[in-house]
Structure 1
Amino acid sequence: MKLGYHTGYWSAGPPDGVAEAIAMCESLGFDSIWTAEAYGSDCLTPLAWWGASTQRVRLGTNLLQISARTPAATAMAAMTLDHLSGGRFVLGLGASGPQVVEGWYGQPYPKPLARTREYLELVRAIVRRDVPVTNSGEFYPLPYPGGTGLGKALKSTVHPLRTDIPIMLGAEGPKNVALAAEIADGWLPMFFSPKTDGFYRTALAEGFARPGARHTLAEFEIPAFVPVVPGPDVETAADLVRPSLALYIGGMGAKTMNFHAELFARLGYPGEVAKIQELYLDGKKKDAIAAVPTTLVEDIALIGPPEKIRDELAVWDETLITTLLLQAPPAALRMVIDALG
């Protein structure tokens, strides 16, 4: 596996030490660095700012939310960053969930798979720049059918550095994962566990078998972000991961629709997931955090003494993951790298 670094979400402001961590990744030969967005900071501006000090690492979004921008705006940003980075940009896209899409962006959420397919096709068409772009699809018609009636098909004034910028899709459920295998250049898993390797191989195989699929598994990228917390005590390390998991399981979605909760239920924790959701949605966040089992943390993260992390890393190396995206506080990155040997 290759190594990458995931800067994670911002909280109240920019995280401390990220620029130094990225410089360390560049000097140590990491493959890539990635930024995220939810409903706070965006993922493009920090990537350009921090990436400007690098020369070699690839620069990826994990994830850029498709409801935040039109396909044209995303294609423009992708071509711009690809030029500025000398061809190192990777576009990671995701549909997010109805809470954010409808509550924050004011966009409809239904039909996320069809919407993603049409979005990606349009981005690729704009980046190819072979003809003026038109689209008669359901979600992003071009030119706009209405308004003044003066809209016309256009072609980017910027010539792309690469006419086929890599596009990866974030996905959790089997249908979304199969879609990534069919139409994208890579899959960006969230909360991957070696225990689910077989489940995802099956979902990916379905996508690769579809007519027109772009890749096979052998040439498909799968960079997975993995929280890594080295330390002498497993429980103490797990405590640093529990709050994030409780948030995703309990608060990042409604009780009737939470894709993260469904993922952890599939992992073997349906009862625990129901309890965490109930506590979180009742406002008992501390209790919800405490209800996250240590074994669940260990399933999706590398925590504890360095020798334990090294032993467990061998299991990850046997999975379909192609790049391990370390998610660790910048100050702890050196300890993480030492733990991984």
Structure 2
Amino acid sequence: MDLGRFGVWNVGIRWGDAGRNREAAAELEELGYGTLWLGGSPSVPEAKPLLEATSRLVVATGILSIWDHEPETVAPQSAELDKDHPGRFLLGLGASHAPLVGERYTRPYSAMIDYLDRLDAAGHPAERRVLAALGPKMLAASRDRAAGAHPYLITPEHTRLAREALGEGKLLAPEVKVVLERDAEQARAAARGHLERYLELPNYTKNLLRLGFTEEDLAGGGSDRLIDSVFAWGDLEAIARRTAEHLDAGADHLALQAIVSGGEDVPLREWRELAQLVKTQG
């Protein structure tokens, strides 16, 4: 499956006007992006209208929560999309987070392995899925039970460590947060507004602490050091330097999430500007 070098990660394209969303997906394909990642715990059927609106674009779930969708349902849904749009649907799976799942969230790694066993039994091919992996155990499962990994909220150093854990030949497709703003104060303010909710989720904070950040870095919406490590911000040249760091560290594909003020939407202006990276680094 060819994801291209760059894709877009977005929640807003799942919501709102369906016609607008189809047009946005078609424009992403025209701009040269290889993959559209549907953020925010999407279902498999949500990919269908966006696949129908395009001819080459891969559509991926980034990520489908294993607590909300039974594998015996997900497997045939995925097979139907692959039949109608061969090689263009990628199932991204994740164990989500305890504060979001509630009492159902128990032994997430074991739950993921059980889920993968049930997917296998239902005939879902491992090469058609990736796992939202941060720590060593889930990265190993991504290597052994999937096509690779789709880490979220990470740094270039995590990309390097993830490549070492996956080895060569496995897909590494991290999400990269982007703020197209040259002013440092404004860029960091936008980043903190986005990051605040994630710093309440232990899976992310534990991973950041593993990467060498401190509790002080995680306080107050994130230190400048944390913001500058997790986010690519600045003009297009600055963004290109950061994406190059991830690619040099071993990423095969980067899922760019454009952070815009005012919440999640379909940021076409930012996607059009970032498409220059497809031409220069793609």
Note whether the superposition's TM-score is higher than 0.5: yes
Q: Equivalent residue for 2:174?
A: 224
| Relative contact order, higher structure (CA 8 A, sep 6+) | 2
* Greater helix content: 2
Please give the secondary structure, in 2, of the residue aligned with 1:332: helix
Instruction: Quote how far apart the aligned CAs of 1:83 are.
Output: 2.1
* Deviations 1:207-249 (CA, angstroms, capped at 9, x unpaired): xxxxxxxxxx332111111112223313322322212211111
Instruction: Quote how far apart the aligned CAs of 1:302 are.
Output: 1.4
CA RMSD of aligned residues (A): 2.5
Matching residue within 151, 155, 159 for 1:189: 151
CA contact (8 A) 2:31 2:272 kept: no
Instruction: Quote how far apart the aligned CAs of 1:18 are.
Output: 4.5
Instruction: Quote how far apart the aligned CAs of 1:338 are.
Output: 3.1
Q: How does 1:1-341 map to 2 (within 5 A)?
A: 2-8=5-11, 13-14=15-16, 18-38=21-41, 42-102=42-102, 107=104, 109-127=105-123, 166-204=128-166, 217-250=167-200, 252=201, 258-273=202-217, 276=219, 288-289=220-221, 292-328=222-258, 329-338=267-276, 341=280
Output the CA distance in 1 between the equivalents of 2:162 and 2:73. 31
**Partner AA of 2:156 in structure 1:** P
Output the CA distance in 2 between the equivalents of 1:72 and 1:80. 13
TM-score normalised by length of structure 1: 0.70
CA contact (8 A) 2:60 2:92 kept: yes
Output the CA distance in 1 between the equivalents of 2:223 and 2:173. 25
Output the CA distance in 2 between the equivalents of 1:232 and 1:164. 42
Q: 1:164 to 1:272 in 2, by over 3 A?
A: closer
Structure 1 unaligned spans of 5+: 129-162, 205-216, 253-257, 277-287
Output the CA distance in 2 between the equivalents of 1:55 and 1:88. 9
Q: 1:316 to 1:164 in 2, by over 3 A?
A: closer
Output the CA distance in 1 between the equivalents of 2:64 and 2:33. 22
Output the CA distance in 1 between the equivalents of 2:203 and 2:126. 30
Please give the secondary structure, in 2, of the residue aligned with 1:68: coil
Instruction: Quote how far apart the aligned CAs of 1:164 are.
Output: 5.9
**Partner AA of 1:171 in structure 2:** A
Count of paired positions = 267
Q: 1:317 to 1:34 in 2, by over 3 A?
A: same
Output the CA distance in 2 between the equivalents of 1:61 and 1:261. 23
Instruction: Quote how far apart the aligned CAs of 1:82 are.
Output: 1.5
